[in-house]
Each structure stands twice: as structure tokens, then as C-alpha cells.
A = this chain, B = another copy of it.
């Protein structure tokens, strides 16, 4: 044991035995979903099936958003130079930063702050929300998680909230998020609907995920999407093509029902 000896509480490895947060990994296999295992890995406790279902919905909601996001353009550009798949994924993730995916962590911070102020100051949701919006406005800052370039009524937000309600996770944070939506309309005089990042932020708060892990849910969700784009680029396109950031069209299967 050297002076560099250190400790970790994630996974225990012994010959022919692997324990994730104390659970034998092979016993988890076949009994919990990947989404439940993600929660277990990050939070240290096995989630209920309902939590697993909510995480499934969160991750499915953000798996891909077409070819326009900078992470996709980055990943496609890199693989187009002949790079390996892992390099292209890696580059794509480097583009998931402040302005792309970063809204989740920021919104979680705002929602947590609102709840804290409600408790500390004995103010109503409406009062706190109004206070925060004004403070932000004075500083010239936006509130992350509201408004979308394309979607005025994001179907993902609505589904996330209806699922959360159904599964029993529509608590204080969802309420606060909705209060912000109302408050923003009042103060700004225009509708800035909760976007998918804002909805995910509220739900991750409900699940007790620390906000420092907020963006990681976007990263985990988007990795398969990036891989789909990388594979399509590699198998369908010529290397070193010039990749137009917006002038592309969808030619996959027609709209279909489950």
C-alpha cells in the first residue's frame, strides 16, 4: 500500500465477481434496465421501476434532434476525415457545452434556488419566481430551460410532465418550473414555454440528482444519437465532404405509428 493509495465507492472487482454499488452485476443483468443501472451507478442506490421509467423517458427524449446541433456537425466533420468512431463521439461531446446541453444544469440551479428562497423567506412560489426573474432581467441574463428556436409547444416537455405526474414525480420542482413559465410571460409579455431541457431539469431535481450531473444526462442520452450520425456519415457519405449546417433534408421512413 503506497502513499498514493486511494478509495472508490463505485465498483468492487474480485476474481469472477463484480459488484456495482454493492450489487452483484450479473444479478442486475436481466432484472434492471440500463436506465436503472445508470441511476444506481450515479446515485449509489437502486431506483424503483418508476424511477427507471422516468429516466428512460428522459433519455429517450434527448436521444437525437436531427443533424443541426453542433455536437452532430462536429462528430460528422471529424469522422469525415477518416477518424475512428470513438474520436468522433469524443469530439461531439466536446460540443455539448454551455450553450448546447448546458441549460439543464443552469435550470436546475435556478429551480433549487427558488425552492430554497421559498423556505428561507417564507415567500410563495409566485413571489420567488417573480423575484428571480426580475433579478435576472436586471443583470441581462436569460433563464435557462425556457423557449425554443423551433418548438413553441415542445411535445417532449408535455410528455415528460404527463409521465412524471402518472408515475408520481410531479412535485415541487415541476410546480416551480411551471410557475417560471407563467412568470416569464407576465414579466416579458411573451410566451417562453418550458423546453425539453427545462423539463428534464425539473424532473432531475425531483429525482434528487445533483445539478452538477444535469448535463451528463444530456450527454448519456445524446451519445447513441451521435453514433447513429457517425455511422450514417461513414457508410453513406463521401469522406471530406463539406457539411452544410442546415441545408439537409430527411429521407428516412415516413411517419409511422408504434
Which A residues contact B (CB, under 8 angstroms)?
Answer: 1-2, 4-13, 15-35, 37-38, 41-42, 44, 46, 53, 55-57, 59-61, 63-68, 70-71, 73-74, 77-78, 80-91, 93-102, 150-156, 158-160, 163, 166, 210, 212-213, 215-216, 219-221, 223-225, 227-229, 231-232, 234-235, 237, 239-258
> Is B83 touching A98 in the complex (CB atoms < 8 A)?
yes
Rounded to whole angstroms, the CA-CA distance of A213 and B21 in the bound complex is 29
A212-B231, A254-B22 known; A57 and B81 CB under 8 Å? no
B153–A4 CB distance below 8 A: no
Given A18-B155, A37-B224, A67 and B215 contact (CB-CB distance below 8 Å): no
List of B residues within 8 angstroms of A65 by Cβ? 11, 13, 18
With both beta carbons as reference points, the residue of chain B lying nearest to A230 in the complex is identified as B216
Could you say which residues of chain B place their CB within 8 Å of the CB of A97?
78, 81-84, 86-87
Contact of A245 with B244 at beta-carbon distance under 8 Å, contacts A66-B8, A86-B97 already known: yes
Given A93-B93, A237-B6, answer yes or no on A29-B61 (Cβ-Cβ < 8 Å).
yes
A255 with B24: CB separation less than 8 A: yes
Can you report 10 A-B residue pairs in the complex whose CB atoms are below 8 A from each other? A2-B244, A8-B232, A9-B252, A30-B163, A38-B63, A42-B224, A42-B228, A86-B219, A90-B90, A242-B246
A88 to B215, CA, bound (A): 13
Bound complex: CA A44 to CA B192 (Å): 34
The distance in angstroms between the C-alpha atoms of A31 and B98, with both chains bound, is 31
Is there an interface contact between B26 and A158, defined as CB atoms closer than 8 Å? Answer: yes
* A243 → chain B closest CB, angstroms: 6
Tell me which of A20, A27, A70, A221 has the highest count of chain B C-beta atoms within 10 A of its own C-beta. A70
- Residue among B11, B95, B155 making CB contact with A77, cutoff 8 Å: B95
The CA-CA distance from A88 to B29 in the complex, in Å, is 27
Contacting pair B154 A16 (CB below 8 A): yes
A21-B252, A22-B256 are known; give 12 further A-B pairs, CB within 8 A. A5-B244, A6-B237, A8-B66, A21-B253, A27-B258, A29-B156, A34-B59, A83-B98, A84-B84, A84-B97, A85-B216, A212-B235
Q: Residue on B with the closest CB to A249? A: B7
Q: Which residues of B contact A57 (CB under 8 A)?
A: 29-30
Closest CB in chain B relative to A224 CB, distance in Å: 4
